[in-house]
Structure 1
Amino acid sequence: MIAIEHHIPGQADDLRQFSDEDCVAFLKAGNSAAFPELMRRYQNRIYTYVLRMISCPDDAMDICQTTFISAYRNLEKWQPNALFRTWLFRIASNSAIDYLRRNKLYTQVPIESLNHTLIDAMDPERQYMSSARCTTMIKLIQQIPPVFRQALLLRELEGMSYADIAQALDISEGTVKSRIARARYGLVSGLDQIDDVESNQ
């Protein structure tokens, strides 16, 4: 992080060269251009994450927008020793879970009871798949219980470390690893079930 007192970029400066944390510091110092830059970096990523959580495009967009509004209004609560990204995804995660609970879509069903689930998105053998297969994968993701889905999406979609996910979800690293492992187990099992059905047709 740079020394803010030595460099506060003007409105026209290219903020892309600075870290998220620098941009937050610039914003606190009065540079209003820093927030649109943070939105540029994360709007699509937050939207995609929330959409995978709640499965409703319009409401996902609303949650995405309120996530940034909440972040802007609560910047003083962000601690500089934490990554801005994990803090932002924590806001989005909480909003998504609140949405699911409000709409009675939140479930704690054990992942072992699911007929179909997700796959490990990083499996190189499955990186090249048909459009229909991709659609199936998205549907499988949406069947994972939210607590497992959160952790898996942050790991595979965002590439977060276990430590960052733990911080974003306010849980221990051990719990993060357990949730991801259970999600992956269910994913692979569910995909294998689909493959078995298709091979027997």
Structure 2
Amino acid sequence: MDRSQEHREPGERVQTFESHGAHPKRSRQNCESQFCKVENLSRLEYNCVEMSSDAEARLLARCRQGEPDAWNELFDAHYSATARFVFQLGADFSREDVEEICQEAFLSVIRNLASFQGASQFQTWLFRIAANKARDFCERQRAAKRGGGQAPLSLQAEDPENGLTLDPPSSAPGPDAQLMNAERMAGVRHALDQLGEPCREIIELRYFADLSYDEIAATLQLNPKTVSSRLSKCLDRLEALARPILAREKSTPFSV
């Protein structure tokens, strides 16, 4: 059985893809082919197919109309970048974990594409869905292990250009440390959600997708200097929102 179906009703995944004109078998093959030459997921390059805003808008319109080839094109264009993004979120995601989370994310895109209004870049919207699916996956893992699963989300340890430091999970945390990390990152996520869309978008691209300033500039169609300035201001806002949460967690003993 496909691991992405383990937490779904029988046949749900196939019905969802077919009802929108996409082909699950082909999508699964594409998913596997993205990894066939990658020995270590950390080496997976950011190789999203470059597409102009107009071209992507046309592709999304075709997806909304239910064209099978359009869904496959969208999958091919964004799968590798999404897989790399998901891999960086988890402390110890396996290849199979990443595949499952990515497939759940794309299923959610199929179900909810009508709600995407273009307020942000499509890729940013997709990454946010993937982050939520990764968090859900980790919560299931923790529940299955009765508190001993993987830490759900982690930002890069430090941005040397802006000085924001958020300690990542230790390489071998015990159950208490893992739960504390989960609480801590949930707090950071809550602070992110309080930011406006421009700040949340640029921080997610920098820390979750691990894009360079030039890549962010290309994605958001901004000047790299504007990216640097905006990111610095947004990090200040995030730090102000997150500091009380992090300070409270440092001063409060954690118990289960």
TM (normalized to structure 2)? 0.41
> Is residue 121–residue 156 contact of structure 1 (8 Å, CA) maintained in 2?
no
| CA pair 25-37 structure 1, distance change in 2 beyond 3 A | same
Equivalent residue runs for 1:1-201 within 5 Å: 19-54=55-90, 55-57=92-94, 58-102=96-140, 103=142, 104-106=149-151, 118=157, 120=159, 143=170, 146=185, 147=188, 152-156=207-211, 159-160=215-216, 177-178=235-236
| CA pair 142-36 structure 1, distance change in 2 beyond 3 A | farther
Give CA deviations for 1:25-52 in whole Å, capped at 9, x if unaligned: 1111342211111111111111111111
Helix, strand or coil at the partner of 2:57: helix
What is the deviation of 1:152?
1.2
Residue 5 of structure 1 is matched in structure 2 by none
| CA pair 180-38 structure 1, distance change in 2 beyond 3 A | farther
> Is residue 151–residue 169 contact of structure 2 (8 Å, CA) maintained in 1?
no
| CA pair 157-74 structure 1, distance change in 2 beyond 3 A | farther
> Is residue 89–residue 152 contact of structure 2 (8 Å, CA) maintained in 1?
no
What is the deviation of 1:177?
1.6
CA distance in 2, matches of 1:108, 1:29: 34
| CA pair 176-96 structure 1, distance change in 2 beyond 3 A | farther
Tell me the amino acid that sits aligned with residue 49 of structure 1: F
CA distance in 2, matches of 1:105, 1:179: 29
> Is residue 50–residue 64 contact of structure 1 (8 Å, CA) maintained in 2?
yes
Where in structure 2 are there 5+ consecutive unaligned residues? Answer: 1-50, 143-148, 162-166, 171-180, 190-202, 221-230, 241-256
Q: Alignment identity in percent?
A: 23
CA distance in 1, matches of 2:153, 2:126: 24
The structure with higher relative contact order (CA 8 Å, sep 6+) is: 1
| CA pair 108-22 structure 1, distance change in 2 beyond 3 A | closer
> Is residue 154–residue 160 contact of structure 1 (8 Å, CA) maintained in 2?
no
What is the deviation of 1:174?
8.4
What is the deviation of 1:106?
4.1
Residue 11 of structure 1 is matched in structure 2 by none
CA distance in 2, matches of 1:34, 1:60: 23
Where in structure 1 are there 5+ consecutive unaligned residues? Answer: 1-15, 112-116, 123-139, 165-172, 183-201
CA distance in 1, matches of 2:233, 2:139: 21
Quote the RMSD (CA, aligned, Å): 4.3
Tell me the amino acid that sits aligned with residue 73 of structure 1: R
What is the deviation of 1:120?
4.2
What is the deviation of 1:20?
2.2
> Is residue 135–residue 152 contact of structure 2 (8 Å, CA) maintained in 1?
no
Tell me the amino acid that sits aligned with residue 154 of structure 1: A
Helix, strand or coil at the partner of 1:33: helix
| CA pair 156-30 structure 1, distance change in 2 beyond 3 A | closer
Residue 10 of structure 1 is matched in structure 2 by none
Tell me the amino acid that sits aligned with residue 208 of structure 2: L
> Is residue 46–residue 64 contact of structure 1 (8 Å, CA) maintained in 2?
yes
CA distance in 2, matches of 1:85, 1:56: 21
